[in-house]
Structure 1
Amino acid sequence: MVRAGVVVTGTEVLTGRVADRNGPWLADQLRQAGVDIADIVVVGDRPDDLRDALAFLSGVQLIITSGGLGPTADDLTAVTVGDFQGRPSALDPDLEQRIADIVERLMAGRGWKTDPEATAAAVRKQAFVPTGASVLAPVGTAPGLVVPPAEGRAGPPVLVLPGPPRELQGMWAAALADPIVGEALAGRAELRQRTMRIWGVPESELSAALRRHDDDLDGLEVTTCMTDAELEIVTRYAPDAEQAYDRLGDALVGEFGAALYSRDGRTVDRVVADALLERSLTIATTESCTAGLLAGRLTDLPGSSAYVLGGLVTYSNLAKHELAGVPMELIDRVGAVSEEVAEAMAAGARWRLGTDVGVGITGVAGPDGGTAEKPVGLVHLCVVAPGRTLSRRINVPGSRRDVRLRTVAVAMHMIRSVLTE
C-alpha cells in the first residue's frame, strides 16, 4: 500500500494555541486518493525538530509538510526541507515578482500602508526555492513546493504546503497533479472509508458486539471512538471487502436497532436537517442555560433558514414569562429548572415563532447556583412536535462548558428521535 506522512509545523499548533486543522484534512484527502496515512507529526518552528520529523518519516512514499512558508523569521520550512533533500535554496526572480504583485493587490484592497523596504524583504524571503523543486502557484502569498531528493540521495519527495487551511486546501488539486507527486504515489489503490454512528450505547457494549461478530470483520480495519457523547465506528477497507462491510452493518443494526441512527455517515445535525426538510417542518428554541448554543448548532448547516425560524434566550424568569409565555405561577410553584418549565418553554417557542417543533432547555450550568435538590449539571429538556412531546432530565458532570455542550448534543438527539423514530 502507498503511504504518506504529514508534518504539521508551527509552535502555535504544538502548544495548543491553534488547533491543527491541516493534519486531519490531509489524512482524509489522502485516503480518498488511495493513499494510507502513516503518521502525523506536529513540530514547532525549530529546524532541528523538522529535520528529525522528516528523517522519522523517510520510509513512506511521500512526505507532506504544512506551515512555515510565511515572510517572518520563524518561517523556515522551505529552506530546511531543501537542505534535508540536499537542495540548497536560491532566489527565483519570477516568483518574487509574482508574490510582489499579489501582496500589492492585497495591501491595496485592505487599504494598508506598508514600509516598501520591509515588504520587499518579506516578498524576497518567500521567493527562495530549493534548486530542482517544482513550484505550486500561491493561493495566498506563499507558494507550494515539491522537493525531490537530490541525485544520489534516497528517500521520498517532500510536498511543502502553506499553513493557512484555505491556502493549503486550495493548492491540493495542483499538488496531486504534480508529476513528481504522481510518480511517488504510483500504484495507489482505492481505499474506502465509511462511518456509522450510535447514540446512547456504552463503548463496552459496542466492543462486545464487535467481538461477537469477529467473523464479519475480514478485510476491514475498524476503529471506534466516542465523539460528542456518541460512538463513531469508522471502517476502512479495499473495494473487494464491500460485502464484509455490509455484513458488519447488518450485524450492528441487529445488535443496536434504532440506536444505530446513522449507517450512511450522516451526523445528527444532518439527520435532523434532512428530517425537517423532508417533512416541511420548522423549528424554534427557548434556551436558558445553553443561551442560544442549540439555535447556533441548528443553523450551522447551510440552508438552515428553510426550517429554523429563530430562538429565544431566556436567562431570567421574567424573560421566560414575557418572551416565551411561561406562567410566573408555574415558575414560582416548581422552579425555573424543572420538567414543567422546560415543556412550557418548548411550547412557548412554537407559540412565539409559529413553528411546528419547539425545544425548551433549562438547567444549572454552574459552577455556582446549584442546590441539594437541583445541583450543578442538572438540566431539563423538552421537545414538542405535532403529536409528540419528549422530555428528559439529565445530570452532566464537568465544567460549565461541558454541561452546556453535552446538553446541546442531547437536545439534537431528542429532536432526531422525535422526528425519525
Structure 2
Amino acid sequence: MRAGIVVTGTEVLSGLIRDANGPWLSEALRSFGVSVEQIVVVGDRPDDVRRALDFFADFDLVLTTGGLGPTADDLTAEVVAGWHGTSMVLDEALEERIWGIVNGLRKRIGGEEAPMRAGARKQAHVPVGAVVLEPKGTAPGFLVGSSPLVAVLPGPPRELQSMWADAVKVEPLASLLASAGALERRILRFFPLSEPQIAATLRELDEGSLPFEVTTCLRRGELEVATVYRPSEAAAYESFEAQLRARHGEVLFSDDGATIDEVVQRGLDGLTIAVAESCTGGLMAGRLTDLAGSSAHVLGGFVVYSNEAKTKFADVDPTLIEAHGAVSPEVAQALAFGARSRFGADLGIGITGIAGPGGGTPEKPVGTVCLCVEAPWGRDDRVVRLPGSRADVRDRTTTVALHMLRGLLAQRR
C-alpha cells in the first residue's frame, strides 16, 4: 500500500511552525502496516495543494492536514473536493453542531456573533459524497473519494490526533488499513558510536542486499539504527541484528527502542537522585524530570552558575575553585557530593563547563565540560570536549551524564 501526506500551511512552509503532524501520522500509519513514501509541505495556496495531490494521484491513501479553519485561506476541503471531481454543499445539521461549539467559545472569550456564525457556516460545507469526521475543535474532517482515498484532517495536533483515532474506525478507511498487512519496527541505540563506524559496518554487511531498509540517525550524540520490515523478513532481520551485536554490542544500550532517559529511569528503581549543575542551566534536571513517574526518583537540583552559588548552595569549598578553576574535575566532584548531601539523595550529578561561544582558553577550550556522577558504591568522573554550538554542548552534556549514570547503575547489579 502506498501512502503520502500533504501538510498544508504557509506558516509551516516558512518555518514559523515546525511540522509535528507529518511524522506523527507516519508513525500512526506504520502501526497499521502502512509505510509512508512521501511527506509534502505546501503553503495555503490552492494550486500548490492540487499539485501535491497530483503527485500522489497513483497512491492508495493520502492524508492532508490543515486548511480547515474558518478563514479565507482555509481551502483544503474545497480543493480536495474539486480534485476528486465533486463539489461542496452546506450540511445544515453539521453547521448547528459546529455553531454549538463556536458559541460556547464565544460566551467564554467574547466576540461578535455574526462573523463567528459565518465561520461556522464556512466550516460546515462538505464535499458531496464525503464521510464526515466530527470536529474535535471547530473543524470537521472528511474521507473523500477513492483511488486514492483522501483523509482530510485538521492542523492543530491535538485535534488531528483525536480525530485520527475516530477515522481509523470509519469506512472506507478502516477496511483500507485492514488490508495493509503488518510492519515490524526495531530501533537499536548505541553510545558512543560514530556515523563513519556504522557506515563501515553496513558496507561490510552489504546493506544493499538486505530485503529491508536500514536508517541511521545521530540524535543528541547517540546513534540510532532503525529498520522496518515485513514478518516474512524476520529471519533476515534477526541475522542482521546479530551481526550488529557482534561488532558493536559493547556500546548497544537499548534494543527495544527505549531512550537513554527511559533506560535510566528503569535503573533508578528504588533510588533517589539530585543535581548540581552550572553550564547546563537546569537542562539536566529537566531531562531527569521529563518522564512521568520521575517524582519517585528526583529529589531536586541546584543551578549554581556563579562561583558564589556553587559555594552557598552546593557546599563547594572556595579553595577548590581558587586552586583548580570552576571548570575542573575537582569542582564537578564537589558539586555531585554537595547535591547528594543537601538533598539526602542516593546519587548525585555534578556538571560544570564552558558552553560558549566565549569563555574558552587554550587549556580549557569551548566545549570543555567536567562531569561527576556519584553513588554509595562508586563514582564516574569525566572531562569531555563536546563539539557544536552552545545549545549543542549543553544538550550533549546531559546525554553524556545520563550514560555515565546508566553505567554506574549497572555496576550496582
1:217-232 equivalences in 2 (<5 Å)? 218-232=210-224
CA shift in 2, pair 1:215/1:131, >3 Å: closer
Partner of 2:88: 89
The alpha-carbon deviation at position 386 of structure 1 amounts to 2.1
CA distance in 2, matches of 1:56, 1:173: 27
1:259-278 equivalences in 2 (<5 Å)? 259-277=251-269
Residue 133 (structure 1) aligned with residue 130 (structure 2): yes
CA distance in 1, matches of 2:156, 2:225: 30
Kept after mapping to 1: 8 A contact 2:168/2:177: no
Kept after mapping to 2: 8 A contact 1:139/1:167: yes
The alpha-carbon deviation at position 34 of structure 1 amounts to 1.1
The alpha-carbon deviation at position 365 of structure 1 amounts to 1.5
C-alpha RMSD of the superposition: 1.6
Kept after mapping to 1: 8 A contact 2:32/2:178: no
Kept after mapping to 2: 8 A contact 1:249/1:263: no
Bigger mean CA deviation after superposition, 214-223 or 49-58: 214-223
Partner of 1:390: 380
Kept after mapping to 2: 8 A contact 1:217/1:244: no
CA distance in 2, matches of 1:404, 1:17: 24
Kept after mapping to 2: 8 A contact 1:347/1:358: yes
1:220-369 equivalences in 2 (<5 Å)? 220-277=212-269, 280-369=270-359
CA distance in 2, matches of 1:87, 1:288: 62
Partner of 1:51: 50
The alpha-carbon deviation at position 38 of structure 1 amounts to 1.5
The alpha-carbon deviation at position 217 of structure 1 amounts to 6.7
Give 1:133's aligned amino acid: A
State the SS of the aligned residue for 2:388.
coil
CA distance in 1, matches of 2:274, 2:92: 58
CA shift in 2, pair 1:216/1:282, >3 Å: farther
The alpha-carbon deviation at position 216 of structure 1 amounts to 11
CA distance in 2, matches of 1:185, 1:371: 59
Q: 2:114 aligns with which of 114, 117, 120?
A: 117
Give 1:174's aligned amino acid: D
Residue 376 (structure 1) aligned with residue 366 (structure 2): yes
Corresponding pairs, count: 411
State the SS of the aligned residue for 1:312.
strand
1:159-238 equivalences in 2 (<5 Å)? 159-185=151-177, 187-214=179-206, 218-238=210-230
Residues 220-269 of structure 1 show CA distances to partners (whole Å, capped at 9, x for unaligned) of 32111111111111111111222322222222222112301111111000
Give 1:334's aligned amino acid: H
The alpha-carbon deviation at position 218 of structure 1 amounts to 4.2
CA distance in 1, matches of 2:178, 2:399: 43
Give 1:22's aligned amino acid: N
Kept after mapping to 2: 8 A contact 1:219/1:238: no
Give 2:214's aligned amino acid: V
In structure 2, list runs of 5 or more residues that go unmatched.
Answer: none
CA distance in 1, matches of 2:31, 2:109: 41
Kept after mapping to 2: 8 A contact 1:357/1:384: yes
Give 1:135's aligned amino acid: V
Partner of 2:408: 418
State the TM-score, normalizing by the size of structure 2.
Answer: 0.96
Kept after mapping to 1: 8 A contact 2:311/2:317: yes
CA distance in 1, matches of 2:38, 2:237: 25
CA distance in 1, matches of 2:304, 2:207: 53
CA distance in 1, matches of 2:356, 2:197: 32
CA shift in 2, pair 1:268/1:148, >3 Å: same
CA distance in 1, matches of 2:116, 2:151: 26
Kept after mapping to 2: 8 A contact 1:66/1:160: yes
Give 1:198's aligned amino acid: F
Kept after mapping to 1: 8 A contact 2:32/2:177: no
Give 2:204's aligned amino acid: R
Residues 136-185 of structure 1 show CA distances to partners (whole Å, capped at 9, x for unaligned) of 01111111101115xxxxx4121000011111110112211221223444
CA distance in 1, matches of 2:162, 2:260: 28
Bigger mean CA deviation after superposition, 2-11 or 212-221: 212-221
CA distance in 2, matches of 1:215, 1:319: 53
Partner of 1:60: 59
Residues 314-359 of structure 1 show CA distances to partners (whole Å, capped at 9, x for unaligned) of 0111110110010001111111010110111011110111111111
Partner of 1:152: none
State the SS of the aligned residue for 2:268.
helix
The alpha-carbon deviation at position 401 of structure 1 amounts to 1.2
